[in-house]
Structure 1
C-alpha cells in the first residue's frame, strides 16, 4: 500500500520573511544534512553520538566570535550614520569617521546602513535556532535592555525555510515502529509550520481522526546542545563583568528551557499535565497526544480545527462568542499562573486557536514555567492586589518576591513601584495603561535599584501581554482588571474554602501527629531538667577563668606590638613568657 499525500491549503501564521542571505544559508545547511542523511540511510537519521555537541564547539565558537566582532564594528558604523549632517563635515568627528571607514569592508554589505538593533536581530537569525530563541526571550527584558532593542527583537522570524518533504517522510518512517502506510492514510507534503526546532505536517489516521506530526529537524539537536555549551561558558564570563544582572542564572535557565524543547517527550508530558489541570474546564482545550506514535524526535497530536486570533474570520464572530472567548482565555491563563503554578511559557497569538462554541485552544507546549508553592501564593496575592486596586498590598507582595543584589536599595524600589502603581490606577479607566506593561516597568525599576526577580516573572508577563493583546483584538474596550478580578476571586474562593483548608491541614497531618505523640516525652524531659536546676543548683562561677584569659591575651598582644615596634628583645620575651604562665596556671 502506498502513502497518499494530499496537497492542502493550510492556513499559515503571518510571520516575517527571512532575509535572503540567512534563508540561502539555511537551505544550504538543510541540503548538507539531507545529503549526509541519504549517505547514512541504513543508520539512524539522528546522530547518536554523545560527544557530537562538543565536537562542534570550536568551529561554532569561531562563527559566533565572527558575528560578535561584526556586530561591534557594525555598531560603530550605525553610530557614525546617526550623527547629524553638520558633524559629518570637515574635521568634525574625524577619528570616528576615519575608524568607521577602516572597518567598513569587514561588515556585511547589506548590514552597513542598518541601525544597531536591526543588525543584532539579523545576526541572531543567521546564528540559528538557539539564538533566535534567546533573542525572543531578551525581547521581553525591557527592564534591562533599551526599548528600541526589545522592539526590534520582537520581529525575529519564527518561521524558517521548510525541510524538503522527502527528508521529513524518511524521518517519520524511522520514528514509527510500524510501516508508515499502516499508520497514516495521508500526510500533507506542505508543512503546516516550520519553526526553529521542528516542522509540522497534517496527517490522517485510519480511524478518521486528523493529527499533526511534529518532527525535530535533522542536525538541530547537535547545534542547540553545542550552543548551550558555549552559552554556559559565556554565562561564567559575564558573571564576572556584570554580576548585578545575574547573567549566569539567566543563561542557565534559558539553556534549561531550550534543552527540554528539543526532547518532544517533554512537550507530550506538558500537554497531558495541562489536560489533567483543566479536566474540569471544557472551555480551554489542549491537543490530545498519541503516545504510541511519539518519542523524543517525533510528536503526533490532535489537530485543533480552528483559526488564529489574527484570522479575518474573527470579524464575523458574534458578540456572545467574543465574550466567551475572552472569558475562557482569561480563565485559562489566570488558572495556569495562579492556581496551578504550571503555565505556558512561550505564549503568543500564534500559539492560540479560536475553536467552535467560544472555546480556546493552546498549542506548542514545549516550553513551560513553574512557580513553587510559596511563589505561586505570593504571585496570586500580588495579582489580586493589582486587579482590586490595593496599591500598598501590591507593592508589599512584589517586594516580598525580590532578591536584592549587591548595593541594592529595596526601600527605594518599593517607593518607585508605589508611585508607578498610583499612575497605573489613575490611567486604568482611560485604557491607556497595560497591566503587562506595568509589571515590566516594575521590573525595570527593580533593575535600576539592583533588585531582581525570578525568570518566571518575565515569562508570566509574556502570557499576560498575550491575553491583553488578543482580548483587545476581540473587544477594543476590554476591561482587563475587571475580567481578571472575576477569575482571581474564584481562585481565592477555592483556595480558602473549608474543603481546601481541610486538605491543607491534612497535608501536614503526619508531622502534627508525630509531634502530638512525642509531646508527653518532651514535656516530661523538660520538667525533669527544670527540677534538677531548681533543686540542685550549680555553684560554678560562669566568669571563672575570664580574668586570666584577658591577662594572657594582653601579654601576647603586647609581645606582638613590641616585636613590630622593634622593642627590646627582653621585653617581648617577658611578655610572651608571662602570657604562657597565665595560660597554664591562671585558673
Structure 2
C-alpha cells in the first residue's frame, strides 16, 4: 500500500526551511491544475514562439537600459533644459516598459527579465554571475539573487513521469513515497521514498515540459550569441553562452548526474569519511534519479556546533581536503558547491549531494592549477603570476605585460595583509580579483577557473562558520602540500615511468630502422631536381604577344614593311624558342 512517509531529519523540509527559502504552497485549486496551467510559457515548444518571447524581452531590456541611463541624469540633478531630447524620448518610451521595471537600474531589469523568460535564462544568469572576470561587478552581484524555482508540480504528474520512464506502476517500484516534495527548483523536483528493501532514498524527477523548453532556448541562444559577439565583443557573450549550453544540456539528463556520483565515489574510495550518494540504477533513467538519502545535518544547522572541538576540526579537514583533492589531484570537481550541498553525518563524515554540474580540468590544466595554487599558498609571487599567465588567453588588443604587473602588485598586497592579519584572508577572493583584472587588460581565463573559485568560496565559508578563527592559507597549504608531495612521490614517479617503458623499448628496437629511413629521406631531398617554375614560359609568351600587337599596329598605319615583318618574325621566335 502506497502511503506518504514522514519527513526525515537532515533534509530541509518546507516546515524546517526559513520563510525566505520556502517554496510557494499550492492550494487545492492548484492541485487540480495541469503543469500547463501552472506555468504555460514552458509548453509553447515552438521555436517561433520562444523567439518572439526572447525578442520581446530583449527589446524591452534595450529600452529599459535607455530609461535607466536617463534616470541617472535626473538623479545627478542636471539642469532642466540639459539633455531635453534624451528626456523627451524617454518620456515616449516609458509606456513600452513594464511599470515595475521603469525606474529600476539596468542590472535589476536584467535579472527580472531573465526570471520572466524561464528556467533556461535563469541558468544562463547563474553562469553569468560567476564570470566576475568579464562582467561588471554590479551585474554579477545582482545576478546572484536570481530565483531558481518554479511552482511545484502536482504529484499525479510526477507519478506519471516516474511510471512512464521506469515502465512500471509506482507500487511495484517503491514501498512508499512522500507526495509533498522536499525541494523544487526550475528543472527538477525531489521526493522522499522507501524502496521495497526498506531503504530511504531521494527521487529526483525532471519537471514536465522543461527539457523541450530548454533545448529550444539553447538553439535560439546559440544564434543570438553570434549577434551579441558582434555588438559587445568586450564581454565575450559567445563564449559565456557556449559554456552555458554545454552545462545545461547535461542538467536535463539525469544519467549524467548518476555517472558523476559514481565517478566521485570511485575517486574517494580510499577516504571512507567522504561520501557521495549511492545510485539505484535499476530505479533511474533520463528523467528519474533515485539515490541514497543522507540522514544528516547541514553545516549551517546549530546542532553541528554542539560537536566536540576535535570533531569540528575533523569536519573542516575532511571538507577542505576533499574540495582541494577534487580540484588539484583529480581535476574533476563539484561545480555547484554551496553549503546546502554538504551534509554532516555521524562519525563524523562529510557527504556531497546534487552533483549534476561538474567541472573538469584536462591533464595539462590540472597540473598548471596545482602548481599555481601551491605557489600562491607558499607566497611565491613570481611563480604564481607565471602559472596564472599559462592558463590565460590573450584577447584582441590584450596587454599581458600590464596584466602581469598588476597581478604581481595584487599578490604582494595580499601577502602583506596575510602577515598583518595572521592568515585571516580569503584565497578565493584573491584568485577572483586576479582574474577580474584580466577583463581590464583583455586577458581571459577558462570558465573552470571561476567554477573553482565557487568551490573555494564554499570551503572557506563553511570552515569559518565552524571555526571563526580558521587560518585558511595554512589549512590550504597543508592539503595542497600533501597532494604536491604525492605527485612527486618517487614510487609514483617510478610507476608512471614504467607505464611508458614498453613504448620506450619499442623506440629503441626500431631506432636503426628510423635512422635508415631518415637518411634515405634526406638523400632524396638533397638529390631531387629543382621543381620547374610554372611561370617560366610567361615572359616569352608576353613578348610574343607584344610583338604581334606591335606588328598589327605597324601594318595598319602603313609603316615600313621591314618593321612589321620583323615584329611578326620575332613573335614566332619568342613563342617557339623562348623559355
Taking structure 1 as the reference length, the TM-score comes to: 0.84
For the pair 1:343 / 2:330, whether they are aligned, the reply is: no
Question: Whole-Å Cα distance in 1 between the matches of residues 365 and 454 of structure 2?
Answer: 18
- Which residue is 2:174 aligned to? 184
**SS in structure 2 opposite 1:201?**
strand
- 1:395 is displaced (CA, Å) by 0.5
For the pair 1:459 / 2:420, whether they are aligned, the reply is: no
For the pair 1:469 / 2:461, whether they are aligned, the reply is: yes
Where does 1:416-427 land on structure 2 (aligned, <5 Å)? 416-427=406-417
**SS in structure 1 opposite 2:510?**
helix
Question: Whole-Å Cα distance in 1 between the matches of residues 51 and 243 of structure 2?
Answer: 21
- Which residue is 2:2 aligned to? 3
Question: Whole-Å Cα distance in 2 between the matches of residues 511 and 70 of structure 1?
Answer: 62
1:349-403 residue CA offsets vs partner (Å, 9 max, x unmatched): 2211122223221111111111110110101000110111110001011111112
- 1:238 is displaced (CA, Å) by 2.4
Name which of 502, 506, 514 aligns with 1:514: 506
Q: 1:311–1:99: structure 2 CA closer, same or farther, 3 Å change rule? A: farther
Name which of 471, 481, 498 aligns with 1:489: 481
**SS in structure 2 opposite 1:227?**
helix
- 1:225 is displaced (CA, Å) by 0.1
- Which residue is 2:383 aligned to? 393
**SS in structure 1 opposite 2:77?**
helix
For the pair 1:124 / 2:114, whether they are aligned, the reply is: yes
Where does 1:59-138 land on structure 2 (aligned, <5 Å)? 59-83=49-73, 87=77, 90-138=80-128
For the pair 1:362 / 2:352, whether they are aligned, the reply is: yes
Moved more, 459-468 or 265-274: 459-468
1:321-354 residue CA offsets vs partner (Å, 9 max, x unmatched): 2211211111111111111111111112221112
**SS in structure 2 opposite 1:508?**
helix
- 1:228 is displaced (CA, Å) by 0.5
Contact 2:399 2:443 in 1 (8 A): yes
- Which residue is 1:284 aligned to? 274
Moved more, 518-527 or 157-166: 518-527
- 1:28 is displaced (CA, Å) by 8.8
Question: Whole-Å Cα distance in 1 between the matches of residues 59 and 202 of structure 2?
Answer: 41
Contact 1:197 1:262 in 2 (8 A): yes
**SS in structure 2 opposite 1:424?**
helix
Where does 1:429-578 land on structure 2 (aligned, <5 Å)? 429=419, 430=421, 433-524=425-516
Question: Whole-Å Cα distance in 2 between the matches of residues 269 and 172 of structure 1?
Answer: 20
- 1:298 is displaced (CA, Å) by 0.1
Where does 1:164-183 land on structure 2 (aligned, <5 Å)? 164-183=154-173
Moved more, 332-341 or 309-318: 309-318
Q: 1:32–1:428: structure 2 CA closer, same or farther, 3 Å change rule? A: same
Contact 1:211 1:302 in 2 (8 A): yes
Question: Whole-Å Cα distance in 1 between the matches of residues 576 and 138 of structure 2?
Answer: 71
Moved more, 289-298 or 486-495: 486-495
For the pair 1:161 / 2:151, whether they are aligned, the reply is: yes
Taking structure 2 as the reference length, the TM-score comes to: 0.85
**SS in structure 1 opposite 2:3?**
coil
Q: 1:383–1:111: structure 2 CA closer, same or farther, 3 Å change rule? A: same
Question: Whole-Å Cα distance in 1 between the matches of residues 188 and 301 of structure 2?
Answer: 23
Q: 1:509–1:102: structure 2 CA closer, same or farther, 3 Å change rule? A: same
Question: Whole-Å Cα distance in 2 between the matches of residues 551 and 445 of structure 1?
Answer: 60
> Where do 5+ consecutive residues of structure 2 fail to align?
547-553, 555-562
Q: 1:105–1:297: structure 2 CA closer, same or farther, 3 Å change rule? A: same
**SS in structure 1 opposite 2:104?**
coil
- 1:208 is displaced (CA, Å) by 2.2
Contact 2:372 2:388 in 1 (8 A): yes
- Which residue is 2:559 aligned to? none
Moved more, 134-143 or 105-114: 105-114
Where does 1:324-339 land on structure 2 (aligned, <5 Å)? 324-339=314-329
Contact 2:359 2:448 in 1 (8 A): yes
For the pair 1:274 / 2:276, whether they are aligned, the reply is: no
Question: Whole-Å Cα distance in 1 between the matches of residues 136 and 265 of structure 2?
Answer: 39
Q: 1:136–1:585: structure 2 CA closer, same or farther, 3 Å change rule? A: same
Question: Whole-Å Cα distance in 1 between the matches of residues 220 and 111 of structure 2?
Answer: 19
For the pair 1:146 / 2:146, whether they are aligned, the reply is: no
Structure (1 or 2) with the larger CA radius of gyration: 2
Q: 1:129–1:525: structure 2 CA closer, same or farther, 3 Å change rule? A: closer
Name which of 35, 44, 53 aligns with 1:33: 35
Question: Whole-Å Cα distance in 2 between the matches of residues 345 and 436 of structure 1?
Answer: 15
